[in-house]
Amino acid sequence: GDSVTQMEGPVTLSEEAFLTINCTYTATGYPSLFWYVQYPGEGLQLLLKATKADDKGSNKGFEATYRKETTSFHLEKGSVQVSDSAVYFCALRTRNQGGSEKLVFGKGTKLTVNP
């Protein structure tokens, strides 16, 4: 079945460091890909998405490019801030024959950014 694998955390960085969180997927067809973020005490928020190969999703300085050839959707940010400390989830959206959709998530990567 469809699945998402993302790098194990936790990740600890200093402010202004470069961030990469790796995400790869296994899926039939060409799913849409997402990064969700969960700040402490809050729900899952959509960070960015890409719906087809070579699309780049971006938001709040974060970027991820849909790479069909490597089945990857790595999250990057050039300069992290303390306020980026959160848990990041990579996900893909699948659709069954009846048209019903669901998200398949990775395990999440906890990022801590120190001042």
Partner 1 sequence: EPEVTQTPSHQVTQMGQEVILRCVPISNHLYFYWYRQILGQKVEFLVSFYNNEISEKSEIFDDQFSVERPDGSNFTLKIRSTKLEDSAMYFCASSRLAGGETQYFGPGTRLLVL
Binding residues (CB under 8 A) for partner 1: these are: 32, 36, 41-46, 49, 51, 89, 91, 95-96, 98-108
**Closest approach of partner 1 to the CB of residue 19, in Å:** 21
The residue ranges of DSSP E strands in 1-115, in sequence order, are: 3-6, 11-14, 19-21, 23-26, 32-38, 44-50, 56-59, 62-65, 75-77, 86-95, 101-105, 109-114
**Closest approach of partner 1 to the CB of residue 34, in Å:** 8
**Closest approach of partner 1 to the CB of residue 18, in Å:** 26
Nearer to partner 1 by Cβ, of 45 and 79: the residue is 45
